[in-house]
Structures are given as structure tokens and as C-alpha cells.
């Protein structure tokens, strides 16, 4: 597979206090694990908390176009693995 997988960690206010501050470690660990197959970056805000607020599921991470709700490091890594095995 040629195309890189893009992982976007939301660092907006809601996500940051709900746990994305801990997800920042992905920025370090993912390139070590997957090399240049995956691109991880922080983004100022994915704008999802304001749409999904009634059932607030922050923090959010986007792996390509798939949204991971209540994201954890494990969930994100699992999603990357699934994408890579396709």
C-alpha cells in the first residue's frame, strides 16, 4: 500500500481536558512502530465535540476518515493495525 495513513489527534479544549493530552505520546511512539507508513499530527480542533455534544465522546482522533470516539492509545493503534492489514 502506497498511501500513508493519516492520524489526527484533536488538541482542542474539550478533547485536551478529556484525555488527548495523553494521546500526544502517539506523535512519538507511532513513527517508531510503523516507520513512515503512518503520519501522526496534532490538530487545533476537529470540531466534533460541538456536533456530538449530547453524548460527549471526547477525545476524538481521526484515522484517515474514520472517527475514533473516546480515543485511547490502544484504540488508535488497533485502528492503525486494521487499516494496514487491509
> Does 53 help bind other proteins (rule: CB under 8 A)?
yes
- Only segment of 6-14, 61-69, 71-79 that touches other proteins (CB under 8 A): 6-14
Q: What is the DSSP letter of 62?
A: E
Q: Could you tell me if residue 40 is left (phi over 0), alpha (psi between -120 and 50 degrees) or otherwise beta?
A: beta
> Does 49 help bind other proteins (rule: CB under 8 A)?
yes
Contact in structure between 5 and 37 (CB atoms under 8 Å): yes
Residues lying near other proteins in the complex (CB under 8 A): 10-14, 16-18, 21-22, 24-25, 27-28, 41-45, 47, 49-50, 52-54, 56, 58
Amino acid at each position: 500500500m502506497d498511501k500513508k495513513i493519516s492520524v489526527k489527534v484533536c488538541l482542542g479544549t474539550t478533547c485536551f481536558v478529556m484525555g488527548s493530552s495523553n494521546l500526544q505520546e502517539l506523535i512519538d511512539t507511532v513513527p517508531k512502530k510503523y516507520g513512515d507508513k503512518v503520519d501522526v499530527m496534532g490538530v487545533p480542533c476537529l470540531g466534533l465535540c460541538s456536533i456530538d455534544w449530547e453524548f460527549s465522546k471526547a477525545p476524538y482522533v481521526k484515522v484517515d476518515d474514520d472517527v475514533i470516539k473516546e480515543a485511547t492509545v490502544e484504540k488508535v493503534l488497533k485502528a492503525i493495525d486494521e487499516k494496514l492489514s487491509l
